[in-house]
Amino acid sequence: MPRSRITGLGMHVPLRVVTNADLERLMDTSDAWIVERTGIRERRWVEPGTGATDLGLEAARLALADAGRQAGDVDFILFASTTRDYFFPGCGPLLQDRLGIGTVAAMDVHNACSGFVYSLATADALVRTGEYRCVLVVGAEVQSTGLNLSTAGRDMAVLFGDGAGAAVVEPSRDETRGLLASALHAEGAHAKDLWAEAPTSLVMGRMTPAMLAEGRMYPQMNGRQVFKHATTRFSEVIGEALARAGHTLDQVALIVPHQANQRIGDAVAERLGVPAEKVFQNIQRYGNTTAASIPIALTEARAEGRMKPGDLVVLAAFGGGFAWGATVMRW
Ligand SMILES: CC(C)(COP(=O)(O)OP(=O)(O)OC[C@H]1O[C@@H](n2cnc3c(N)ncnc32)[C@H](O)[C@@H]1OP(=O)(O)O)[C@@H](O)C(=O)NCCC(=O)NCCS
């Protein structure tokens, strides 16, 4: 079976910068609290009317150009988003239409923060079967329109941002480079520790006035539980994926984790015993962009020279589901 490789990367974030000081004007919070607990200093928010598909389209175009490919070369789209434009259909078919690529297969992955890692592992499998040769993997989110911007929602509202990243996955011409192994897990027993309940198909009309009044469409989180599980699972799954790839932690040049919280990134570095500079973090500027955070981080890590050809790189994510995973690649 051929190995697959990321041949192109791209990212796109909205122009509008929302600082912690901006949030102080909306709710009872402070720059000091947000920076100390999360590391986040600012995030990007869309102007109303812009959806995950719009952001994903820009990132996809850049990733295709980076790979030296045309939209017409794509033979499968995997679109990871928690905040898709509509209840259905997903963003995959919408992106396909915007790219003008006929009847190419398009699939949505609704897996919250681990959506990109799950999609990348799926793209790898699609390419290795030989059935597909140019898979476009997109992670895109518009979280800002779904946040409770009052003090009652401050625990979640300060964390999230909007953005998109994309990767083109193709067969690798160089057998030594590419995606080496992935490990994926989920634990649905914790579904309600990080979730947005509504709109829900469990009630007629998907939403009742009472649910609306109670704010049950806003994301809810048991922050401490998420923190505890995230730090454990990140470390475990990185070890598992490395073992599958036949490598060890000391051979890794860079870990690119889902950007959930700088303290989680720091705790993972400490738990694994790797120096902080080996864990890429840009959450300071974008907040948590859910399924978009890893492709955005990868694009910036490469641009900053933190990821060079031949480097062993590990991607890892943990989030809603709970679902988590890691991928090891030779860049
Ligand atoms: C969310 C998180 C930063 C909260 O940190 P924490 O130290 O556990 O804080 P707590 O939830 O115990 O809250 C401490 C206090 O700060 C308050 N607080 C919560 N959000 C606040 C905010 N944005 N601004 C100011 N105060 C806030 C709480 O109300 C609480 O006040 P109280 O002591 O008077 O009750 C932390 O739990 C975390 O990082 N969890 C993981 C989150 C995550 O990554 N989620 C994304 C999933 S991938």
pLDDT level of residue 26 (50, 70, 90 thresholds): very high
Q: What is the mean pLDDT of residues 61-67?
A: 98
CB-ligand 1 contact for 82 (6 Å cutoff)? no
Reduced to 3 states (helix: H, G, I; strand: E, B; else coil), residue 80 is strand
Alpha helix positions (H), the chain: 20-24, 31-38, 52-67, 91-99, 115-128, 154-157, 209-214, 223-245, 262-272, 283-286, 293-303
Cα 37 to ligand 1 centroid, rounded to whole Å = 7
Q: What's the confidence (pLDDT) of residue 20?
A: 98
Task: Give the nearest ligand 1 atom to 23 CA.
Answer: 23
Which residue's C-alpha comes closest to atom 47 of ligand 1?
319
Residue 302 φ/ψ, nearest 5 degrees: -65, -45
Residue 175: what pLDDT? 86
Residues in the chain: 331
Provide the 3-class DSSP secondary structure of residue 215.
coil
- Residue 258: closest CA among 325, 193, 187: 325
- Specify the 3-state DSSP secondary structure of 229: helix
Handedness of CA 193, 195, 200, 203 (dihedral sign): positive
Mean pLDDT of the chain: 97
- Whole-angstrom distance, CA of residue 94 vs CA of residue 111: 18
Helix (H) or strand (E) holding 77: strand 76-80
288 tagged catalytic = yes
- What's the whole-number mean pLDDT along residues 67-78? 98
pLDDT at 9: 98
| 315 contacts 298 by C-beta, under 8 angstroms | yes
Going across the sheet that includes 312-319, the strands are: 178-186, 323-330, 312-319, 254-257
- Which residues 6+ apart lie within 8 Å of 165 measured at CB? 9, 10, 11, 12, 59, 63, 116, 138, 139, 140, 292, 293, 294, 295, 296, 297, 298, 299
**What values do phi and psi take at 222, rounded to 5?**
-95, 90
pLDDT in tens, 226-278: 999 999 999 999 999 999 999 999 999 999 999 999 999 999 999 999 999 99
Strands 254-257 and 312-319, bridge-based pairing? parallel
42 lines ligand 1 (CB under 6 A): no
Q: What value, to the nearest 5°, has the Cα angle with vertex 59 and ends 178 and 15?
A: 140
pLDDT digits (tens, 9 = 90+) for 93-114: 999 999 999 999 999 999 999 9
pLDDT band, residue 57 (cuts 50/70/90): very high
Between the alpha carbon of residue 100 and those of residues 61, 93, 94, 265, 326, the distances in Å are 12, 10, 10, 39, 32
Of 91, 113, 229, 261, which one is the catalytic site residue? 113
Structure tokens at 286: 């974008």
pLDDT of 1 higher than 80: no
Q: What is the mean pLDDT of residues 49-54?
A: 98
Rounded distance from Cα 160 to ligand 1 centre (Å) = 13
Q: Is 221 in the pocket of ligand 1 (CB under 6 A)?
A: yes
What average pLDDT does the segment 195-210 reach?
96
* 258 assigned to active site: yes
Tokens of 66: 């980076």
Say what the pLDDT of residue 2 is. 83
